[in-house]
Amino acid sequence: MLQAARSALEVAEKVLADPAHASLFEGGGWAGNRRRDGYVDDIADEDLPVAPPGAEQLVADTPDVGMLGTLLLSPRRVETDRPLPTDELEEDPQSLGCDALLNLLDWALTAATRPQGPWEWRHEAADATWRAHAPTTSPSGVVQLEVRSDNTYYVRVASPELREGELVCLWETQSAPSPAAAVLLAEHAAIEAGVGMRFTREERKRRLLLPRPASSTAEPTITDLILAAHQRHVFDFTDLAGGLAYLRYRIHDTTSAGEGHWLRQQVPDDPLDYVHSLTGYINAWCGVPGTHPDEPGNTACVDTPAYRRHLAAHGTALDPFVTCYLAAAERASGERDFEERHRAGAQALRTADLAELSALDPRPVPESLLEFVASIPLDIDAITDWYDVHCQD
């Protein structure tokens, strides 16, 4: 193992001395590049291995890669692992050895390209913890770093700009193979925390912890909201159809928009608010950011400027078909059962000019979607079968 580590360090020195790899020092060093690779994998739903520069040379120059892999298997694992028909172990020592070499090279490059930062680490002997902090301007506050004795690191952002009562928000926590690795990974996470905090949502209502600034007199349109929101935060008609099928037997009576999407119960010692409108249930069960009882958007219909300002502040949009459905469904005042509100929303879509509505969406609207919208059943009990036919493979 020591020989493998020496080999990794020798290859790392050659790579870092090669002008062709000067970019390794950019963008937060090799660790920063690897973290971005991980984010791309998450977004693209792919898991493509990223080999460090010099990987081929390291594997080629190491004569006993298989022996290294065997060393990584404990004696008990070698004795008890079920052999394959070829009398080989289920885990290939050659593959394990290659992975170990690449991990060693990864860490060698990571340590050598560690970016300079404003971190002044201090060790607190009382709890064997390392701590550091640095100011951040976006948001205004402090990034707090902590590495504990079990090599677990924590990165938090403390800022008065944070909403939802979260003045201190945990940005990232993970375990690392060593104290030095934990410190390095914590520093990289802290670099990203300031910017990333602007895209972080609280769990209960999916609201942005740092809402986007919006004028109290702005009148954003459906088109504006869709263009400003990330694709993942545009609630489409297909999402609504799935939500209705899911909620069919989960909700009964709901109030109108004017009576409040979220309301507090008159119960002592219960500060929470709860859903009361159909839009509120869509917030709670389908991930559309919810309103607070003291906000103008909480008693506003989804097709009004007040509610659209709420959506704009939280980087979200409803497509025109969803807007049409919910606006009609919540028009009647008082408590109404789900069947009645659904019938009103479905009838509005059936009689609407769908071409006119689709013109409000800046994205291409295929004819198949218009047919799907036009076929929405008036009977809420038919929703599940209708959704399965159109949306399930």
CA nearest 4: which of 111, 110, 112, 99? 99
pLDDT of residue 84: 42
pLDDT of residue 111: 80
Residue 75 pLDDT level (bands cut at 50, 70, 90): low
**pLDDT exceeds cutoff 50 at 42:** no
The tokens of 264 are what? 């507090």
Residue 44 pLDDT level (bands cut at 50, 70, 90): very low
pLDDT of residue 233: 95
pTM of the model: 0.72
Each residue's pLDDT tens digit, 318-366: 999 999 999 999 999 999 999 999 999 999 999 999 999 999 999 999 9
Each residue's pLDDT tens digit, 137-150: 767 888 899 999 99
**pLDDT exceeds cutoff 50 at 40:** no
Each residue's pLDDT tens digit, 166-175: 688 888 899 9
